[in-house]
A and B are shown apart, each in its own frame.
Chain A
Amino acid sequence: MLEVDVRGFSCPVPLMRTKKALEGDPAEIRVLVDSGTAKANAVNLLKDSSYDVAVDETPDGWTIVGKKA
């Protein structure tokens, strides 16, 4: 599965890197974030790009998994 680790980056780097990763049209993608804003941005971007999204809380943030709908 394609993984994007954007933990610790300020806006809009998490959004930029997630968007770049989506350019390859992956069937599944995992995004690691550690701020609420990055989480919301990544979730919205994945949903708007027709992915089914699941969010898991981890000790140092959240893991967002997107599967092509």
Chain B
Amino acid sequence: MSGKRLVGPSAWIFGAAGAFIGVVAAWLVSQGNPGNMGLCIACFLRDTVGFFGGAKANMGAVAYVRPEIIGLVLGAAAASFATKEFRPRGGSSTLLRFVLGFIFMTSALIFLGCTVRAWLRLGGGDLNALWGVLGIVVGVSIGALFLKGGYNLGRAKHLPAPAAWLGVALAVALLALALASASGTAPNGFTVTKAKAFATGTTPPAVFLKGAGGKPAAVLKPEGAALAPDGSIVGADGAVVASAEAVAKAKPQPGGKRAPLAIALVAGLVLGVVAQRSRFCSIGGIRDVVLVRRFDLLFGVIGLLVGAFVANVALGQFSMGFENQPVAHTDALGNFAAMAVAGLAAVMLGGCPFRQVIMSGEGDVDAFAAVLGMMAGAFVAHWQGIASSPKGLSPLGWPALGVMAAVLVAIALIKRERTA
């Protein structure tokens, strides 16, 4: 007997875990998170960096310590501790993992979402994400070719026990900062996007809070600007900053859209446990199909897509089309290329950003380095204006994607191990 199953019983576990994550993510949107962004590792790490970077790094609209991230790390740490999988390990090209995390984040911010949010966007009816998913398939397939050719980042080693606590230490520090700014006002030197703040598409944008009936109530930016009787926003010098039409078309700032802290934290904890136990990965399914013809893990993203779709329909959040999708742009080629680079970077890391966050909770210092790289990438992508906006790619988007793709190929060639 040499029966070889292509789909084993673990497909059910991955499928159920993916569906659960999709449902919780869609539900978090109904609780206040940005559209199709109930869970987005790239966006949430970026928002957390925005808390430190603030307006000086062009992150005023995306500044908030996302409690989901804290929950994911602590949930994964608890689950791995309980199952004796909490182990200090690292030293497998740690610095290169920082670079790969940096590249993953930068390309995710050109797409506007990570490889988890790509599926969630599709599950919410955002058809632009089709290009992103296609990009993931192509990027992951290229990564599979590299792996077939002998690419790997080398062995990690067992490390002294304290190293295992780096991820947990970061999560606890962030939790303290999140609690310190729970009132909605950041401690001195930090930035929190005002809850439910809206920004116009003008340059510079006018930022205001809406009052009863959806009418602008208080103008936050620019300094000294005020609402004019005709509905426009006028600066301190009397010049019109944003026309009434621009004010009416203003969009919520992503950092100001958030589920209540306790809800987000508990959801993160639960998802952290589920992800650690199930080993859900948003790119591993495609990789395993291409590379080793195993289909189990693919059911994870299928579950994610179906779960998000069903929950979005049930919650009345489903809206199909290309235009006017929340935190998305319509540049098909840009969406495709950005997710191809992100997918390749994720395969080269050994797992998607969700997995990196989970593994950093498990004591994996290399995954922790990838998370730090993602945070650094978020800072640079906003500070230098590489990140896209809902209007489309920035002028630096394509050059950045080209450079990052070249760096990935170089890393793949350097880290090629010739095996017999």
Chain A residues with CB under 8 Å of chain B are: 7-13, 15-16, 19, 25, 34-37, 40, 44-45, 47-50, 57, 60-61, 69
Q: Looking across the interface, which residue of chain B has its beta carbon closest to that of A11?
A: B350
Query: Using Cβ atoms and an 8 Å threshold, which residues of chain A touch B89?
Result: 8, 34-35
Q: Is A44 in contact with B287, judged by CB distance below 8 angstroms?
A: no
Q: Is A8 in contact with B92, judged by CB distance below 8 angstroms?
A: yes
Of the residues A12, A35, A45, A69, contact of B291 by C-beta under 8 Å? A12
Of the residues B3, B156, B287, B296, contact of A8 by C-beta under 8 Å? B156
In the bound assembly, the distance between CA atoms of A69 and B4 in angstroms comes to 12
Query: Using Cβ atoms and an 8 Å threshold, which residues of chain A touch B350?
Result: 10-13
Q: Looking across the interface, which residue of chain B has its beta carbon closest to that of A61?
A: B87
B345-383 Cβ-contact flags toward A at 8 Å (1 or 0): 000011100010000001010100000000000000000
Chain B residues with CB under 8 Å of chain A are: 1-5, 8, 10, 80, 83-85, 87, 89, 92, 147, 152-158, 279, 281, 284, 287-288, 291-292, 294, 296, 349-351, 355, 362, 364, 366
Q: Is B2 in contact with A7, judged by CB distance below 8 angstroms?
A: no
Cβ distance B182 to chain A, nearest Cβ, rounded Å: 34
A-B contact pairs, 22 of them (CB 8 A): A8-B89, A8-B157, A9-B92, A9-B155, A10-B152, A11-B284, A12-B147, A13-B350, A19-B292, A25-B2, A34-B87, A34-B156, A35-B362, A36-B80, A40-B279, A44-B10, A45-B294, A47-B8, A48-B5, A50-B2, A50-B4, A60-B158
In the bound assembly, the distance between CA atoms of A34 and B90 in angstroms comes to 11
Q: Is B84 in contact with A57, judged by CB distance below 8 angstroms?
A: yes
A35-B85 contact given A8-B92, A44-B8, CB 8 Å threshold: yes
Beyond A10-B349, A12-B288, A35-B364, 9 additional pairs, beta carbon < 8 A: A8-B89, A8-B154, A9-B92, A10-B350, A12-B350, A16-B291, A34-B87, A37-B279, A50-B1
Query: Using Cβ atoms and an 8 Å threshold, which residues of chain B touch A13?
Result: 147, 152, 350
Cβ distance B383 to chain A, nearest Cβ, rounded Å: 30
Q: Is B1 in contact with A36, judged by CB distance below 8 angstroms?
A: no
Query: Using Cβ atoms and an 8 Å threshold, which residues of chain A touch B152?
Result: 9-10, 13
Q: Looking across the interface, which residue of chain A has its beta carbon closest to that of B417?
A: A13
In the bound assembly, the distance between CA atoms of A29 and B153 in angstroms comes to 25
Q: Looking across the interface, which residue of chain A has its beta carbon closest to that of B1?
A: A50
In the bound assembly, the distance between CA atoms of A35 and B294 in angstroms comes to 20
Q: Is B1 in contact with A10, judged by CB distance below 8 angstroms?
A: no
In the bound assembly, the distance between CA atoms of A8 and B91 in angstroms comes to 9
In the bound assembly, the distance between CA atoms of A7 and B157 in angstroms comes to 8
Query: Using Cβ atoms and an 8 Å threshold, which residues of chain A touch B158?
Result: 34, 60
Cβ distance A9 to chain B, nearest Cβ, rounded Å: 6
Cβ distance B366 to chain A, nearest Cβ, rounded Å: 8
Query: Using Cβ atoms and an 8 Å threshold, which residues of chain B touch A48?
Result: 4-5, 8
Q: Is B2 in contact with A15, judged by CB distance below 8 angstroms?
A: no
Q: Is A15 in contact with B85, judged by CB distance below 8 angstroms?
A: no
Query: Using Cβ atoms and an 8 Å threshold, which residues of chain B touch A44?
Result: 8, 10, 296
Query: Using Cβ atoms and an 8 Å threshold, which residues of chain A touch B5?
Result: 48-49
Q: Is A10 in contact with B287, judged by CB distance below 8 angstroms?
A: no
Query: Using Cβ atoms and an 8 Å threshold, which residues of chain A touch B83?
Result: 36
A7-B155 contact given A12-B287, A15-B294, CB 8 Å threshold: yes
In the bound assembly, the distance between CA atoms of A7 and B87 in angstroms comes to 13
Of the residues A8, A12, A49, A57, contact of B284 by C-beta under 8 Å? A12
Query: Using Cβ atoms and an 8 Å threshold, which residues of chain B touch A15?
Result: 288, 292, 294
